[in-house]
Amino acid sequence: MLDALGDGRPRSRETTASRAKGGILVVGGFVVALFVIEIVNMLTLHSLNRTFGLRPRSLDGLLDIFTFPLLHASLNHLLSNTLPLIIFGFLVFLSGLRVFLTALALSWLGSGLTVWLIGDGGVTVGASGLVFGLFAFLLVRGFFNHSWRQILLAVVLFMVYGSILLGVLPFVAGYISWQAHLGGAVGGVAAALLMRPRRGV
């Protein structure tokens, strides 16, 4: 039986609608912020990348873990991340703000730490690690949650976007950070594992 609100509307529908609105605002706001940062970066000839890009195995580079996904090598670089970031971010947000923040944070941290530990020595920037993390979260959470609906969504997403997973392989392309992709994906899986339903003993 549906739990109805005072005006007769089902609570589940209201919750889904409110989460959808929240997802649009939060994910959209984050993407807008990325474009604002990129505009500033372009006006300063991408000097922000040299200052706040992630430098592997340097002590002060640890702080760059918190800034490098906000920067991009070019406008085209940002545009390539925008659509999947919006789609995956919105779909994760439909499960709630706490789930979204957990998936985003672990993807961010996993991506950054992996680059810092095994990066090739250059400066790494870009939100693609977050894209891979959110995507990985969506792919595996249904199996942890035992949700056929989420598994079906994962299958559809894999059919459409599954080819991007090749980006975790070192030999696919020399100009991308496979380390960021791999670390982000691991972080996304860790988030799905962490957020799985707790079952009573």
The domain of 79 spans 11-194
pLDDT for 200: 52
- Considering the domain boundaries, does residue 4 fall inside one? no
Quote the distance between the C-alpha of residue 52 and its chain's center.
Answer: 19
> Looking at the whole model, is its pTM more than 0.85?
yes
116-134: b (≥16 Cβ within 10 Å) or e? beebeeebbbbbbbbbbbb
DSSP 78: H
pLDDT for 2: 43
Helix extents (H) in the chain: 11-43, 47-52, 61-64, 75-93, 97-118, 128-145, 148-161, 178-194
Domain count, the chain: 1
- Considering the domain boundaries, does residue 25 fall inside one? yes
**DSSP β-bridge partners for residue 165:** none
pLDDT for 15: 84
- Considering the domain boundaries, does residue 5 fall inside one? no
- Considering the domain boundaries, does residue 86 fall inside one? yes
- Considering the domain boundaries, does residue 2 fall inside one? no
The C-alpha atoms of residue 131 and residue 17 are separated, in whole angstroms, by 24
* Cβ(41)–Cβ(123) below 8 Å: no
What's 130-179 look like in SS3?
HHHHHHHHHHHHHHHHCCHHHHHHHHHHHHHHHHHHHHHCCCCCCCCCHH
The C-alpha atoms of residue 149 and residue 99 are separated, in whole angstroms, by 17
* Cβ(66)–Cβ(112) below 8 Å: yes
> What residues contact 43, with CB distance under 8 A and at least 6 apart?
none
- Considering the domain boundaries, does residue 58 fall inside one? yes
Between the CA atoms of 14, 15, 17 and 18, what dihedral angle is there, to the nearest 10 degrees?
A: 110
- Considering the domain boundaries, does residue 143 fall inside one? yes
CATH of the domain at 30: 1.20.1540.10
pLDDT in tens, the chain (201 residues): 344 444 444 455 558 888 999 999 999 999 999 999 999 999 999 999 999 999 999 888 899 999 999 999 999 999 999 999 999 999 999 999 999 999 999 999 999 999 999 998 789 999 999 999 999 999 999 999 999 999 999 999 999 999 888 888 876 666 688 999 999 999 999 999 999 887 654
Q: Which of 74, 94, 78 is nearest to 27 (CA)?
A: 94
- Considering the domain boundaries, does residue 123 fall inside one? yes
The C-alpha atoms of residue 61 and residue 65 are separated, in whole angstroms, by 7
